[in-house]
Structure 1
Amino acid sequence: MSVMAAVGDVFRRARGRTLTAFRQGDEYQWKGPFYFIQGADPQFGLIKAWAVGNTGSGDDEWGEEIKLTEQAVQAINKLNPKPKFFVLCGDLIHGMPGTQWRKDQEQDLKNVLKNTDQDIPLVFVSGNHDIGNTPTRETIDNYCKSWGDDYFSFWVGGVFFLVLNSQLYFDSSKCPELKQAQDAWLNGQLAAAEKRKCKHIIVFQHIPLFLRKPDEDHDYFNLEKSVRQEIMEKFQNAGVKAVFSGHYHRNAGGWYRGLEMVVSSAIGCQLGEDKHGLRVVLVTDEKIVHRYYSLDELSSQGLEKEMVDMLAKQN
């Protein structure tokens, strides 16, 4: 795909259940270590809503989120070597489907993100604020018109990536047929990945499977225990190495039988002690190494020497 062809379509590159930014046939083979950037929850409008104690609305200002996301884009654009892609793990905006400020928040976010270096594809993951806590076919269709498919897969350098719609696991009561479709698609994708002997399998979704322990109680920030268990076993059996998510607005994570659950804090509103930031994820022949950087740290210092050396060593 030429740069000119991609310019007007940078927000809808996920089509036909794949990512058009990468030519699939060129990406099946391992070509040496690379890295990508994971962000989560820019959530335009939440900082004001959280401050005034009205997270149902109260989100009529998002100037602070604009500045933070601009800082994130500028930091990413300065990185050398460039990341393979920049994935945003959901809650792009705060306004729920049908609410007043939603379109303005979406447009302002796109105005910031379109300044991302054209050689760094944007990858979008749907969150609960993007399609609703209980999504419908209509809310998902509207998301897809703005941001591309709600679930899809793609290959980069011999590594297989899966983007999932975790709201279908959280509450699919208004669209059970869409959950069934994603389940069938996912099973087929994992079977195909096994045949291709990919180097690693990595999953992106908004809601974490769990925050710290695989058997922790269910609450707003993780998936229900029986659903979680089924997915963890499926991933572990298929050889998935890591699941990256957001939603929690704090850093967290843990392990389930060799499967790492990585929960990244937000670009936007912080609900804990972490700084506004991004996660740098380095993929090597043997492992996946990652570190959360504050936006200030990434802006001023870039990648730490150890990561740059790991990238250079095997290329």
Structure 2
Amino acid sequence: MPSPETRLFSFAVVGDTHVKPESGDQSAPWKVNEKATARARYIAREIARYDPSFVIHLGDLVHPVPELPTFEEAVALTHAVFRQHHNAMHVLPGNHDIGDKPNPAMPAKGVRDSWIEIHERNFGPSWRLFDRDGCRFILLNTPILNSGLPQERAQRAWLQQALETAADLRIFVFLHYPLFLLDDAEPSTYDNIDEPARSDLLALFRAASVEAAFAGHVHNIFYNRVAGCEFYVMPATSFVRQDYSEFFRIEAVHENGRDDAEKLGFAIVDVHSDGHVVHYLPSYGAMLAADAAAAPVVARSSGALPHPKTPGGAPIGAFLRHPWAETVAWRIWSPSATASPCPASAFPGGHTGIWCWPTRP
């Protein structure tokens, strides 16, 4: 069981910051999107409290896509927001950064070489790996999957080599699009990786005994396990996808659930010699002005956070009248549907909350 004595290091996982200019940008019709940059700034400061060894960003760094006139300003703002983590930050691209995954029904333009080049000029290679303390960290470019672009074939060959040469290294993989939400055989939707790339990646992960995979894009928490690999779909820092409010039995909060701020946050991951522990840390939508970003912070330790994987576990238990997690039927928009949305099932966004999402004191 992971304990303070077995802890090797920690890292932060953040995603879907959707940074945009705080005035003059018309890339989103929702009011809550105006809060995204200030919310990302707050998250950057909170990450600094835990002094992680490195930070991984799961993509959708900015909201305006590369063809919009405010894109470059959004990129500059992103660098400014995370400047204190600059030398320790590893970034992979999301659909807002380089274009949507290939499908004619996608709501925005698809991935293209020119946008990948822009991303790599601003943030470095769109896929990469690094090793630390017996672990291999692999970051993938998922919008290019199933695209037929030369870069897709190059990444596939590179990934296979990265997994095969890992030897005894423990493997952690990071993606923007999740492989799946409920089931690895679920139909293709806007929120998962389409076939045949999905099955191909899952086969590679199984063969390499990948320990954990982290994804973003969905702006809600999901958790699953397949063949010993733990799959985490992470919260956003900016806003919640309002379509997921349909999961819940109560009326959606602000902007039809898009500003459900208690579902926003980031994670600190403690890596131990005998496993890993993911601590979800809610931000409650807190914001920080630019002139306050450089203020000193009080240090915190993730070792003091309770978790069922660690000795002592979570000190509070509860009996619930209704199920905390259940599978529900939900009509969602599907890119594979030709005439109408298709039904799909998924866990509610808060299904892991009983052990990972702390209550407000």
TM-score by length of 1: 0.76
The aligned amino acid for 2:280 is Y
Contact 1:46 1:59 in 2 (8 A): no
Q: How does 1:95-110 map to 2 (within 5 A)?
A: 95-110=64-79
Partners of 1:58 and 1:306 in 2: CA distance: 38
Distance 1:41 1:109, change over 3 A: same
Contact 1:39 1:279 in 2 (8 A): yes
Residue 207 (structure 1) aligned to one of 155, 177, 189? 177
Distance in 1 of aligned mates of 2:22 and 2:189: 22
Residue 263 (structure 1) aligns with: 233
Residues 32, 157 of structure 1: 8 Å contact kept = no
Q: Which residue of 2 aligns with 1:229?
A: 199
How far apart in 1 are the matches of 2:70 and 2:141?
23
Is the Cα–Cα contact under 8 Å of residues 41 and 89 in structure 1 kept in the other structure? yes
Equivalenced residues, count: 265
Separation of aligned partners in 1, 2:268 and 2:31? 31
One-letter amino acid of the structure 2 residue matched with residue 95 of structure 1: P
Equivalent of 2:270, from 282, 293, 296?
A: 282
Q: Is the 8 A contact 1:250 1:263 kept in 2?
A: yes
Bigger-Rg structure (1/2): 2
* Runs (5+) with no aligned partner, structure 1: 1-30, 49-53
SS at match of 1:181: helix
Q: In the alignment, residue 151 of structure 2 is paired with which amino acid?
A: L
In structure 1, distance between residues paired with 2:140 and 2:185: 22
1:39 aligns with 2:27: no
For 1:87 and 1:307, the matched residues in 2 are separated by 23
SS at match of 1:248: coil
Shift of 1:128: 0.7
Other structure's SS at 1:123 match: strand
Superposition CA RMSD, Å: 3.0
Structure 1 position 111 matched with structure 2 position 80: yes
Pair 1:303 & 2:272 matched: no
Residue 315 of structure 2 is matched in structure 1 by none
Calculate the TM-score normalised by the size of structure 2: 0.67
Local SS of the residue matching 1:280: strand
Structure 2 CA distance for aligned equivalents of residues 132 and 230 of structure 1:
22
Cα distance in 2 for residues equivalent to 1:236 and 1:35? 25
Specify which of 46, 53, 57 is matched with residue 84 of structure 1. 53
Q: State the alpha-carbon separation in 1 of the partners of residues 52 and 306 from structure 2.
A: 12
Counterpart Cα distance in 2 of 1:77 and 1:124: 17
Relative distance call for 1:57 and 1:108 in structure 2 (3 A) is same
Structure 1 residues 32, 304: closer, same or farther in 2, change over 3 A?
closer
| Counterpart residue type for residue 80 of structure 2 | N
CA contact (8 A) 2:177 2:217 kept: yes
Q: 1:123 aligns with which of 87, 90, 102?
A: 90
| Residues 1:142 and 2:118 are matched in the alignment | yes
How far does residue 115 in structure 1 lie from its aligned partner after superposition? 3.1
CA distance in 2, matches of 1:252, 1:222: 12
Unaligned stretches of 5+ in structure 2? Answer: 1-5, 101-109, 245-259, 287-296, 312-361
Q: What's the CA shift for 1:67?
A: 1.4
Contact 1:132 1:139 in 2 (8 A): yes
In the alignment, is the contact (CA less than 8 A) between 2:264 and 2:285 conserved in 1?
Answer: no
Does the aligned pair in 2 maintain the 1:202–1:241 contact within 8 Å?
Answer: yes
Contact 2:20 2:74 in 1 (8 A): yes
Task: Select 1:291's aligned residue among 279, 286, 303.
Answer: 279
- CA change 1:46–1:218 in 2 (3 A) is farther
In the aligned structure 2, how far is the partner of 1:251 from the partner of 1:41? Answer: 13
Runs (4 or more) in structure 1 with deviation over 6 Å come to 297-301, 307-311
Map 1:175-190; keep pairs closer than 5 Å: 176-190=149-163
Q: Secondary structure at the match of 1:247?
A: coil
- 3-state DSSP of counterpart to 1:94: coil
Encode CA deviations 1:171-221: one digit per residue, 9 max, x unaligned.
414xx2111100111111111112xx11x1000110000112212221000
Q: In the alignment, which residue of structure 2 is the partner of 1:217?
A: 187
Q: Which residue of 2 aligns with 1:5?
A: none
CA shift at 1:292, angstroms?
1.3
Partners of 1:46 and 1:269 within 8 A in 2: no
Q: Is the 8 A contact 1:47 1:62 kept in 2?
A: no
Q: 1:303 Cα shift?
A: 2.9
Q: Distance in 2 between matches of 1:155 and 1:307?
A: 28
Deviations 1:9-53 (A, max 9, x none): xxxxxxxxxxxxxxxxxxxxxx952111100100124999xxxxx
